[in-house]
Amino acid sequence: MIFIDPHTDLLNVLRFINDFSKTIGVRDLNIDTRRISGIINGAVFDGDYSVAKASPFKKLAAFVAYFVAEKPILSPLPIEKFKKIENHQNAIFALEIAIDSLHGAKIHRSDGEFTLANRIELSHHSYIDIIDAISSVTPQSGKKLVAVLLEQMCYRKNPACEYA
């Protein structure tokens, strides 16, 4: 879904935000599209997490970190569903975009290429805890933990893809 090219990535992220907000019953969502462009550009060139050399887990961890830190979703979501977690709307959208982007992603290993065929599934309790945990991630702090978390969530549903 993302890391194709900046223009396509922006359109895909905006389309995802629009579709996902409708599925959770939010009709009017205030979004700063310039921030989303900056998020995409920041994640693409983020050192060891850059698109040129990173695993899909690291790429999406960078995206999540930039998204949460830049706060492009300006409208709050119904907070009662999310136990009053600060910055929850940006963490929710970042996690949902990461989960969607990982479904079908390719893992390149020395012994071949593997596809993450099974979508990540989380219990409600785990979902809330993960949203809380990533709601304060920044590009400077927490990316590695997010990368490991995404990786382990994928391997839980796609055990054949796990590195030995």
Q: What is the pLDDT of residue 25?
A: 85
Cα-flanking dihedrals φ and ψ of residue 123, to 5°?
Answer: -70, 160
The pLDDT tens digits of the residues spanning 52-83 come to 778 999 999 999 999 999 999 998 887 666 66
Q: What is the pLDDT of residue 66?
A: 97
Q: Are 2 and 40 in contact (CB under 8 A)?
A: yes
Looking at per-residue pLDDT, the higher value among 164 and 73 belongs to 73
Per residue in 16-56, pLDDT tens? 999 999 988 888 899 999 999 999 999 988 877 777 778 99
User: Residue 88: how many CA atoms within 13 Å on its side-chain side?
Assistant: 17
Average pLDDT of the chain is 90
Q: Where are the domains of the chain?
A: 6-161
- Whole-angstrom distance, CA of residue 79 vs CA of residue 129: 14
